[in-house]
Amino acid sequence: MIRDEMLPALQGVVPSHIATCSADGTPNVTAISQVYYVDRTHVALSNQFFSKTRRNLDENPYAFVQLIHPETAHMWFLELRFLRSEAEGPLFDAMDMQLEAIASLQGMHGVFKLQSADLYEVLSVREAREASLP
Amino acid sequence: MLTRELVEHFGGPVSIVVGTRDAHLRPAFTRVFGIVGAVGSPSITLFAPEVMSGRMLADLRDNGQVAVQVTSWATFTSYQLKGTVTGIVPAGADAESVIAHVRDQVVAITSGIVSERFAVGWSKYVTTPAVAVTFEARDAFLQTPGPRAGARISG
Amino acid sequence: MSEEEELRQKLARKTQELQIVQTIATEINAALELDQIFDVVLASMDNALGFRHAMILVPDKTGGWLRVAASRGYAEKGIGATVEFGKGQIGVVARRRRVMRMVGMGTQMAIVAAARRESQQAGHAIANETRLPGLPNVRSQVVIPLVAKDRLIGVYVVESPEHNAFDVLDEAFVGIVGSQVATAIDNASAYAELQRQVAERSKELADALSKLSSQPRPLSPAREVDGRYRVIRKLGAGGMGTVYEVERITDQHRFALKTLRGRTEPDSMARFAREAHVAAEQLHPNLVPVVDIGIADGALFLVMPLVDGGSLEQQRSRFGDATWARPLLGHVAIGLAALHERGIVHRDLKPANILLDRGVPRIADFGLAALRGVVAADTAASGELDAAVAATMQPGPAGLTRAGDIFGTPAYMAPELASGARDIGPASDMFAFGLLAYEMVVGCTAFAEPPVLSRLGGREIAVPVVAKIEPVIARCLELDPASRPTSAELVGALRARPA
C-alpha cells in the first residue's frame, strides 16, 4: 500500500495532517511531526501534544492523514484505523530518537516529548493527482 | 468573535486544512487555499478548489460540521476553528485575489525554508475554480506546539 | 512471487551476508593502526554489501563534538567536519547509543529543513550549508553507535540514494560489525598510548636492571606491587615466570601480573625485559597485550589483561571437534602472522600459551621471543638488551641453548630445534602450529613420538596421517623447514577454504 515514492513524505520535513472525529460527530484536524513507516500496511504517528486527537481515537478509531512530498508537494491521502498506543519498546524508541534529532536543531528540547507511539493500520492510500497541474 | 490577530493571521502565508466527517463518523481531510473573516464576526469563509472538494462538500451537506486549522509558514503559529457550515456557493472573483495573495507568499517562503522545488510544486496546485464555504465559528483554539497549545481564543 | 517465497529468498540472501560480515569482522581484527581499521571497515562493507557511501565519526577529547575520521563514496571526504553531540541524528545516536534507521528521505533533509527553520525564526540568513559529507539525494540511512566497554568510541553512518535500502537485517549486520569496529578502535587507541609509554620506560628499565640483586620474594595475597597493584592470588607458574591475579589499586580493575621465577641472572632479566618491550609493541587482538611493565622488590614484572577464558590446554576435551577448532585456528594463524611480520619467532607455541579471551584466541608468553636478525634501534637501552638476549641464544654443546634449559615444549617443538640450528626461524613456529592444529582438528597427536625427541634419539620420524586435515596444515608438518608455508600463506589458505 505505502509505496517507496511516498517515503520522503513521512520524514517530517513538511508536516503531515490528521483528521479525526469524536463520538458526538465533531471533526478535529491537526498537524503531525512525522508519520513513521512501520511496513507497507502500517504507520505510527507520534503522540506529542494533540490530546484531543487521542481522545477522539479512543472514541472512534478512524483517522485520515494527508502527506506532502517535500520535493514535489504532491499529496497523498491515507485512511487509517488506530490499533494501539505504545509508550515503550522499539517503535517508541525509534520515533523518540527521530523526534529528538529534529527537535535538537530547533532548540525545542522537551517541547517535543513523545508521549506514545500510536500504531495504525493503513486502510487505503490515494494520490491526489487531481490536486496539481502536470 | 474573530480577533484582529486571527484576521491578520488569515492574510499571511498560511497553510489551511479542513477536517470533516461523513454520516458514519469517518473523518476526511481537504486542503484549501483561502480564508477570510471580519474582526468581531463569527462568520468565516473558505475558498476550496472544486477539484479537491468532492468529499468535503458531501460531508458538509450531510452534517455541516467543520474543523479548520490555519498555520503560518512564517511563524508556525497555528489556530484551529470549529463550527457549523452556513453556506456553500461558487466562489466569486474576489476569491481569486485572496487565493493568489496567500499562494504567492507561501511560494516565496517555502522556497527558502523547504526547497525551491517544493515551492514550485505548491504553485502548481489547482486552486480555481473554487467553492466558497462559509461557516459560523463557535470555538477557536491556539494550536501552536508548546505549553499554550489548546488554549481557547476569546474574541 | 508469493510473499512467503520472497521472504525465504530474502532470508537466504541475508544468511550469506552474515557470513560475509563475519569475514569482515576478522579482517577488521587483523588491522592494527587506527586509520587501517577505518579504511578496512568502509572498504569491506562496500565490497561485500554494497554500502557505497559511509563515514565514521569519533568523539573529540572534550566529548562535546564528533569529528569525521574517515569517509567513502562522497564527492567531498569531509574529514574533520564536526557534529555537535546530541544534535541532529548523528549527535542523538551518539548520545542515546541506539541505532537510527531512516527509510525515506533520510534525516539529512529533515535536519537541513529544521536548521533552516531555526535560522529563519532567529532572524539569521538562511544557510544552506551541510558541513558533513553526505549524499545530496540521500533516501535511506542507518546510523550506528560504536560502543566498546561501555564507552562511545564513535558513530558509523551508511547512506543510500535508494528508498528503503536498509532493512532491519541490514541494521543488525551493521551492528555486528559496529561492535567489532568499536573494540578494534578502542584497542588501537589504548595501545598506541601504551606503546608510547613503554618506549619511554625502556630506558628506565635498562637502568633499573643493573640494580637488581637478590632473588625476588614470592608475592603473597594482599601484597602491593610497585605501589600500583595488589596481589589477589597466584594463578600459576610456568615458562620463565609466576603469574598472579592482581587488582589495580586506583580502580580495582583486575589484571594478570607475571614476575620472573626466582632467577637473577642478568641474561634472564634481559630476555624478560625484551619480552616486555616486544610484547608491548604488539597491538593485535590475537596477541595478549602488555599493559604495564615495571620493577618492584628486585623483580621485573609484566601486567597483562586478565584473560579469564583459560587456555586451549583446558579445552582438550573438545579436541577432535573440527567445527569448533577451525575458526580458532584461523585466529591463531593471524596472531602468528602478526608476530612473524615483525621478525619475531614465538618458539613456544602450544595450547597452554593460547588464551581464550571471550572465546577469541590470543597468543601469550613471548618468553622465548628472539628477534630474528633485526635489532631494535629505538634507544641505546634496547641495543643493550638485544645484545644480552643474543648472547644467551648461542647453541651449546648439547645442541640446546643452555644446559638444563629447553627453550620450548618438546611436544610442540620442530625437529630442527634438536640440532640447535642457528637460523631457527618462523618455520619452527609453523611446525608447532601444524601439531596444534592436527590435535585440535583430528583429536590425536600427529606423531607417535614428539619429532624433536625422535631426532635427538636418532629415530626415524613417521609420516602422520593427513587425510583429515587441510593441505596447508599438512604442509606445516613437513620435516624440512623450507617446505612449510609461511604464516601469511597459512592465513590466506585458511581464509580461502569453503565455510
Mean pLDDT value across residues A40-49: 83
A-contacting chains (≥3 CB pairs under 8 Å): B, C
Q: Which residues of C442-465 are buried (b: 16+ CB within 10 A; e: fewer)?
A: beeebbeebbbbbbbeeeebeebe
Read off the pLDDT band of C48 (50, 70, 90): confident
B76 touches chain C (CB under 8 A): yes
Answer yes or no: do B112 and C121 touch at CB < 8 A: no
What residue in A sits closest to C88 (Cα-Cα)? A101
Mean pLDDT rounded to a whole number for chain C:
73
What is d(CA A108, CA C21) in angstroms, rounded to the nearest whole number? Answer: 39
| Grid cell in block for residue C85 | 553531540
Which is nearest to B83 in space by CA: B69, B62, B65, B71?
A: B65
A132 CB neighbours in chain B (<8 A) are 121, 124-126
Print the SS3 string covering C42-107. HHHHHHHHCCCEEEEEEECCCCCEEEEEEEECCCCCCCCCEEECCCHHHHHHHHHCCCEEECCCCH
Q: Does B108 touch chain C (CB under 8 A)?
A: no
Poorest-pLDDT segment among B40-44, C22-26, C250-254: C22-26
Q: How confident is the model over C68-84, as a mean pLDDT?
A: 88
Stretch C4-15: mean pLDDT, rounded? Answer: 67
What does the mean pLDDT of chain A come to? Answer: 86
Of C46, C207, C308, C348, which is the active-site residue?
C348
The secondary element (H helix, E strand) that includes residue C231 is strand C229-238
* One-letter amino acid of B89: V
Do C111 and A93 count as a contact with CB atoms less than 8 A apart? no
Grid look-up 581464550 returns C356
φ, ψ (nearest 5 deg) of residue A15: -60, 145
- The Cα C280–Cα C292 span in angstroms is 8
> What are phi and psi for residue C381, nearest 5 degrees?
-60, -40
Q: Tell me what pLDDT residue C370 has.
A: 36
- Asked if C379 and C205 count as a contact pair (C-beta separation under 8 A), the reply is no
C-alpha distances (whole Å) from A119 to each of A47, A63, A82, C215, C384 are: 10, 12, 6, 74, 73
The string of DSSP codes covering C251-277 is T--EEEEEEE-S---HHHHHHHHHHHH
- On the CB side of C421, CA atoms within 13 Å amount to 19
Query: What value does the mean pLDDT take over residues C389-410?
Result: 39
Contacts of B117 in chain A (CB under 8 A): 71-72
C120 chain-B contacts, CB cut-off 8 A: 112-113
Cβ neighbours of C65 (radius 10 Å) = 17
Chain C residues with CB-CB distance to B113 below 8 A: 113, 116-117, 120, 126
Predicted local distance difference test score (pLDDT) of residue C220:
82
Q: How confident is the model at residue A14 (pLDDT cuts 50, 70, 90)?
A: confident
Q: How far apart are CA A119 and CA B135, in angstroms?
A: 33
pLDDT band at C165 (very low <50, low <70, confident <90, very high): confident
Q: What is the mean pLDDT of residues A55-74?
A: 92
B6 Cα to chain A: minimum distance (Å): 17
Answer yes or no: is pLDDT of B12 > 50: yes
Minimal-distance CA residue of chain C relative to B115? C113
Quickly list DSSP for C164-215: T---HHHHHHHHHHHHHHHHHHHHHHHHHHHHHHHHHHHHHHHHHHTT--SP
Comparing C370 with C20, the larger pLDDT belongs to: C20
Chains that touch C (3 or more CB pairs under 8 A): A, B
Say whether residue C117 is in contact with chain B using an 8 A CB cutoff.
yes
The region of weakest confidence among B108-122, C134-148, C313-327, C378-392 is: C378-392
- Segment C426-465, tens digit of pLDDT: 999 999 999 999 999 999 989 988 888 888 778 888 888 7
Answer whether the bond into residue B147 is a cis peptide, omega within 30°: no
Residues in A touching C88 (Cβ below 8 Å)? 101, 104-105
C41 has a pLDDT exceeding 70: yes
Q: Is B113 on the interface with C (CB under 8 A)?
A: yes
Out of B17, B27, B114, name the one closest to residue A21 (CB). B27
Quick one: average pLDDT of C32-39?
68
Strand order, beta sheet including B34-37? B27-32, B14-21, B65-72, B78-90, B130-142, B43-49, B34-37
* Residue C128 contacts B where some CB pair is shorter than 8 Å: no
Q: Which residue has the higher pLDDT, A61 or C127?
A: A61
**pLDDT, tens only, C243-297:** 889 998 887 888 888 876 444 455 555 555 565 565 555 567 888 876 777 777 7
Chains that touch B (3 or more CB pairs under 8 A): A, C
Measured between beta carbons, the chain A residues lying within 8 angstroms of C139 are 7-8
Inter-chain CB proximity C96 and A100 less than 8 Å: yes
pLDDT on residue C403: 28
Pick from C169, C174, C163, C172: which is nearest to C11 by CA?
C169
Quick one: pLDDT at residue A57? 92
pLDDT of B31: 95
pLDDT in tens, C455-492: 877 888 888 877 788 899 999 999 999 999 999 999 99
**Which set of grid coordinates corresponds to residue C150?**
561501555
B141: enclosing H helix or E strand: strand B130-142
Q: Residue C287's pLDDT is what?
A: 86
* Contact present, C326 and C249 (Cβ < 8 Å): no
Sorting pLDDT into bands at 50, 70 and 90, what band is A31?
Answer: confident
Whether residues C106 and A37 touch (CB distance < 8 A) is answered with no
Active site includes C357? no
Q: Tell me the pTM.
A: 0.57
Answer whether residue C238 shows pLDDT above 70: no
Select the more confidently predicted residue: A11 or C15: A11
Nearest chain C CA: its distance from B75 CA (Å): 7
What pLDDT score does C23 carry? 63
> Is B67 in CB contact (< 8 Å) with chain A?
yes
When pLDDT is averaged across residues A69-84 and rounded to a whole number, the result is 92
Residues B43, B36: Cα–Cα separation, whole Å: 9
Q: Compute the mean pLDDT over every residue in chain B, rounded to the nearest whole number.
A: 91
Q: Smallest CA–CA separation between A93 and chain B, in Å?
A: 21
* pLDDT score for A104: 77
Model pLDDT, residue C390: 39
Confidence of residue C122 (pLDDT cuts 50, 70, 90): low
**Phi, psi torsion values for A83, nearest 5 degrees:** -105, -55
Check A105 against C98: CB less than 8 A apart: no
Least confident of A49-63, B10-24, C319-333, C475-489: A49-63
Confidence band for A29, pLDDT divided at 50, 70 and 90: very high
- pLDDT single digits (tens) B132-141: 999 999 999 8
C-beta atoms of C164 and A4 within 8 A = yes
**Listed ranges C191-195, C320-324, C350-354, C445-449; the one with the highest mean pLDDT:** C320-324
Of the candidates B66, B71, B117, which has its C-beta nearest A72's C-beta?
Answer: B117
What is the total residue count of chain B?
155
Query: How much of chain A exceeds pLDDT 70, in percent?
Result: 90
Q: Which grid coordinates are listed for C379?
A: 634507544
Q: Looking at the predicted structure, is the pLDDT value of residue C89 above 80?
A: yes
Instruction: Walk me through the domains of chain A, giving residue ranges and CATH numbers.
Output: 4-128 (2.30.110.10)
* pLDDT number for residue C345: 78
> Does the pLDDT of residue A18 top 90, yes or no?
yes
Cell 584461523 maps to which residue? C330
Q: What is the pLDDT of residue A68?
A: 92
Cβ atoms within 10 Å, residue C200: 10
Res B113: pLDDT: 80
Query: What CATH fold (topology level) applies to the domain B4-142?
Result: Pnp Oxidase; Chain A (2.30.110)
pLDDT > 90: percent of chain B: 75
> Distance between CA atoms of C203 and C222, rounded to whole angstroms?
30
What is residue B138's predicted lDDT score, i.e. its pLDDT? Answer: 92
Non-local (6+) Cβ contacts of B90 within 8 A are B129, B130, B131, B132
The 10s digit of each residue's pLDDT in B56-73 is: 999 999 999 999 999 999
Which residue blocks in C376-486 are alpha helix, DSSP H? 380-392, 426-442, 451-456, 471-476
Q: Please, what is the Cα angle at B88 between B83 and B92, to 5 degrees?
A: 120
Q: Tell me what pLDDT residue A132 has.
A: 85
The shortest CB-CB distance from B31 to any of A18, A52, A66 is to A66
Mean pLDDT value across residues C296-315: 80
At residue C194, the pLDDT reads: 53
pLDDT of residue A95: 85
Q: What is the mean pLDDT of residues C143-164?
A: 85
Angstrom CA distances, A74 to A9, A134, B118, stand at 9, 11, 9
Residue C270: name the closest of C208, C191, C314 by CA. C208
